[in-house]
Amino acid sequence: MDRTSLYRTIWRWHFYAGLFVMPMVVILALTGAAYLFKPQVDAWEERAWRGLPAATTVSADQQVRAALAAFPGSRFHSYRLPRAERDAALVHITLPDHAMRDVFVAPDGHVVGSLDPEWRIMQVVHDIHGQLLIGKRGSWIVELAASWAIVMILSGLYLWWPAGRGLAGVVWPRLGGGRKVVWRDLHAVTGFWVSGLAMVLLVTGLPWADVWGSAFKAVRAELGWVKGRQDWTIGGAAAAADEHAEHDHGAMAAMTGAMAGAMPAGMHRMPDGTLMAGPAMSGVSLSEIVAEAKSRHLPFPVIVTPPGGAQPFGGKRSSAWSVRSDTQNRPLRVSLTFDPMTGHETSREAFADKHVIDRVVGYGVAWHEGQLFGLLNQLIGVATALMLVTMSVTGFVLWRRRKPADRLGAPPLATVPPRMGGVVVIILVLAALLPLLAISMALMLAAEFAVLRRLPAAARWLGLQGSRGQVA
């Protein structure tokens, strides 16, 4: 009897967790699967500007001038080295209205195209996946869904646990047992096979989440686990309040505007007031830094930022030239700085130089984005996404097949209060590790006992009645 009561209680939590999580799981699985192929999609999006004919070539400084001339009043932000000699360089600029623009300049100095970075295919997918296109509040929703997805997976594993049964319906579905059995087995067996991979994705995504990531950052700082610049964003924003995020183009524009009031070494002002790469009287030019960056053979994409320029992931404005590899395979990233007057290397930070916590997160992020070990990593990610969608669809079908017309269809309450035992410990640990889970669970319980159980119609619809119809 105790086991039956506990089973029903966990089944109810699994049901409510799934009811909330499943729509989000489908959104996150589909957008996550698409984002796995960011390098390929970016290359396809830029296909018209690769392998260009070039009878003559111009310097990086001249390419920047051409980009700024094509957009009067704009300001130079950064320069991305072309992947191959005949590919266009990407000049990232700030427009007069503070919007950002990716301008593609051919080797011969002609502007061949431009894109709004906010509406590039993978940027939109990224913003849906991380923030549902509604900013920080979207990040909270995603984090809340991820927290409850962990509850859903753990409770689902308990419900699936074989308990002496054979392997059929446990490791593989029983396809000859009728529709009800087939749908149940497809849901349970798929959930079993995907649970480990899904847990890895959920855990590796938490450092990006707003609430969890901020708490993690505070703990790291308190314990002295910080070494160098944090290499990931938090809730789509910067790692610190005075810093800007990788994709925060508004902050980039503001930073670039601030650069206009200064005259960093290696830059000079044109007659139209724009800030240009290259020396006015002395200092190292962009072309010299680009040549040095090419000689280092860093993984693509390689970004050059001028002195005074905004740095990624919350880096402070640098007084030196910055060269960094932004490859999604985080363990291969390298950041360099060069003296603006002499061009000598002044610092170098590789993945191995980071704190061990940053390295662990870096490996997790690279796995999450499908870039840790190439195509196989991407295919595993796609398989995980497909199984998550399958689990969501089969769960929805199971609910609809058993849902009464006048009720939500939640599993019935246990007639005898269960002995929770170790389950309470697991819940407390999860609540301590997942702040939004703890808050939402407390609010749900308070609403249920203070309000919903006192409203007969609501209690009946939600299945909060005992076997004899009384409110439990």
Summarize pLDDT for 140-166 with one digit per residue, the tens.
999 999 999 999 999 999 988 877 667
Positive or negative: CA dihedral 316, 317, 319, 322 = positive
HEC assignment per residue over 249-278: HHHHHHHHHHHCCCCCCCEEECCCCCEEEC
For residues 436 and 144, is the Cβ–Cβ distance under 8 A? yes
What pLDDT score does 281 carry?
A: 41
**Range 26-61 burial, b when 16+ CB lie within 10 A, else e:** bbbbbbbbbbbbbbebeeeebeebeebebeeebbbb
Summarize pLDDT for 70-116 with one digit per residue, the tens.
999 999 999 999 999 999 999 999 999 999 999 999 999 999 999 99
Strands 75-80, 321-325: pairing is unpaired
What pLDDT score does 167 carry?
A: 77
Pick the closest to residue 385 from 26, 85, 114 (CA basis).
26
Summarize pLDDT for 215-242 with one digit per residue, the tens.
999 999 999 888 878 888 888 776 654 3
Distance (Å, rounded) from C-alpha 457 to C-alpha 149?
29
CA-only gyration radius of the chain, Å = 27
Q: Is the pLDDT of residue 245 over 50?
A: no
Q: Is the pLDDT of residue 46 over 80?
A: yes
Q: Given phi > 0 = left and psi -120 to 50 = alpha, else beta, which region is 90?
A: beta
Query: What secondary structure letter does DSSP report for 454?
Result: G
HEC assignment per residue over 382-445: HHHHHHHHHHHHHHHHHHHHHCCCCCCCCCCCCCCCCCCCHHHHHHHHHHHHCHHHHHHHHHHH
Predicted TM-score (pTM) of this structure: 0.86
Span of 7-21, 68-82, 367-381, 404-418 with lowest mean pLDDT = 404-418
Q: Is the pLDDT of residue 273 over 80?
A: no
Query: Given pLDDT bands bounded at 50, 70 and 90, which one contains residue 54?
Result: confident
Spell out the domain ranges in the chain: 2-36+136-206+374-462
Query: Given pLDDT bands bounded at 50, 70 and 90, which one contains residue 467?
Result: very low
Q: What is the mean pLDDT of the chain?
A: 86
Distance (Å, rounded) from C-alpha 239 to C-alpha 245?
7
What pLDDT score does 61 carry?
A: 97
Q: Is the pLDDT of residue 255 over 60?
A: no
Query: What secondary structure letter does DSSP report for 453?
Result: G
**Token pair in block for residue 457:** 């119609």
Bridge partners of residue 324, in order along the sequence: 303, 335
